[in-house]
Amino acid sequence: MATDSKLENKLPPHFTKDPDATEPELVAKRREQWRHFSRDPYKPPRDDEKQSQSTEQAPESQKQEPTEYTRRLRHPGSGWTLLFYDLAWTATFATLSQSGSFIEPMDAISYFGFFAAVLWLWASQTLYCVHFYTNDWFHLTSIFLQLIIFGLLAATTKGYHLTNYISRSPGSTELNSSADQISDEDALQRFNAERTDLFSAKAMALAFALTRFLHLLQYLRACWYARWGKGAENRGHTPRGRFLFDRVHPQVYAIIVGLIFSNMMLFAAMGIMFSSYGTSVAGASIKLGLWIGGFLLEILSHLWHPVLRLMAPRRNQKEGQEENSPGAVHWTEDVNPLPLAKVDLCERLDTITTIILGEGINGFAGTLTSILTAAGVGRAVGINVASTAFTIWFIAYMYFEGPKSGSNPEGEGLRRLTWMVFYLPFLASIFLLFAGIKNQFLLTASTEPLMTF
C-alpha cells in the first residue's frame, strides 16, 4: 500500500483522479452510448440540452429556429457510422472505374447510368438521415447491412455494361448469336465474359432491391412514430384539417408510396435476372426499364410535395383565397416541419468529394508504380505527373474555396433536391476525368520508348 501511495504521489494528479460522474460532458456521452433498439425521432430535446448545447455545434439549418418549436432531435445519431457509409459507397463505383474500359461512348454512358443509380442510393439515405437519424440499434443495424450490400456491389461489378444482352453480348461490341462458328479459345473467352456479367447483374439486382427494402422500413418506422408515437404530441403541432396529414408530414407519405412501387419494380427486376429470361433481349430490356422506372419513381416522390408547395400560393390566388385565411391550415403549408438531426448536408457532400479525390490519387499512384519502372520512360511522364497534380489541386481549390463553398441551399424542398442532383454530373465527370488521365499515363509510357528509336 505504501508503494502504491508513493507511486501516486509521483504521477500527475490527472493520472490518479477518479472521473467525475456528474460532469455534463461525461453524462451526455454515457447517455448517447446507452442505445435503445429504436428511438422516437419526434421527441423534443430536453430542457437541459437546450441550455447546454451552443449554436456553434448545430448545422446552419438549425441555428435560427424559434424557441417554441425546436426541431432538433433528442437523440441524434453518431457521425462515424455515416463516414463508414460514405467510404463503402465510394468503393462501389471506384472498382468499376478502375476495372472498366472507356473506349466507346456507350461505355461512358453505361458508367454514368450506374453512377447515377449508386449516387441516388447515397442521396436518398442522406436525405433520410437529415431528419430521422437517431442514436439507436435500428439505424446502426440498417447502415451496417447497407455496408455489406455496398461491399457486394464493389466486389461484383467488374466490367458490367448496362446494355449487355440488349445491344451487345458480354465481352463483345455486338450482339452475338449462339449459332456463330467460333474457335475454342473465343468460346472460352465468351463463356468467361458471360459468367462474369451474369454474376454482376444478379448482384446488382439483389443489392438494389435490398437497399430499397431497408430504406422503406426506415420511412415506415418514421411514419409510425409520427402517427402513433408520443413525441409528436409533446413537440406540438398545428392541425392541418385532414386525418391523413394531421400528424404525418405529406412528404413522408409521398416517399413511402414511391418506395412501395419502387420495391415492387426492383424485386420484379431481380426475379427476371435470376431466371433464364434475364439473358434474353426482352428480359434484359425489361430489367433495365424496371431499374430506371423504380429510381425515377423515388425521385418524383421526393419532388411531389415541394412542387405542390410551390404551386399552392398561385392556385390559391387564382381561386380568390387569401393565404392567411382563418380556419384549418392547408395540408400543403409546412407548419409542422420535419425534425432535424446533427447531419450537415454540405459536410456530407464535402466528405464524398474528398474521398473521390483521394481515390483518384490512389489510382494514379498505382499506375505510376508500374510506369516508372518501365524502360525508356523519360521527361514526358514527368510532365504528365505535374499536370495531373495541378489538375487535382485546381479541382480541390475550386470546390473548397469557391464562391459557394461550405454553404447549404436555402430551404428543404425543391431547391435542396435540385442542388444534390447537380452533384451527379460533377462527381461523375471527376471520375471519368481521372480515368482518362490514367489512360493518358499508360499511352505516354507505351509510346515514348518507341519515339526514342
Query: Residue 271 has what pLDDT?
Result: 96
Distance CA 14, CA 65 (A): 40
Query: Residue 445 has what pLDDT?
Result: 72
Domain extents in the chain? 35-53+65-176+184-318, 345-453
Using alpha carbons, list the distances in angstroms from residue 62 to 251, 337, 343, 441: 19, 12, 10, 47
Report the Cα–Cα distance between both ends of the chain, in Å, rounded: 83
* Cβ partners under 8 Å of residue 118, min gap 6: 89, 92, 93, 153
Q: What is the mean pLDDT of each run of 10 residues along the chain (453 residues)?
A: 59 68 68 79 70 47 47 82 88 69 75 87 92 92 92 78 82 66 71 83 92 96 86 63 64 94 97 91 93 95 85 62 49 68 84 85 76 66 82 88 70 75 84 81 70 57
Q: What residues are paired with 236 via a beta bridge?
A: none
Neighbours of 233 (CB within 10 A): 11
Query: Residue 54 has what pLDDT?
Result: 45
Length of the chain: 453
Query: Residue 10 has what pLDDT?
Result: 66
Using alpha carbons, list the distances in angstroms from residue 5 to 8, 15, 16, 334: 5, 13, 10, 64
CA atoms within 13 A on the CB side of 261: 16
> Residue 438 has which C-alpha cell?
490514367
CA atoms within 13 A on the CB side of 30: 9
Distance CA 384, CA 372 (A): 12
Distance CA 254, CA 14 (A): 55
Assess contact for 232 and 69: CB atoms under 8 A: no
Neighbours of 328 (CB within 10 A): 12
Residue 327: name the closest of 242, 252, 235 by CA: 242
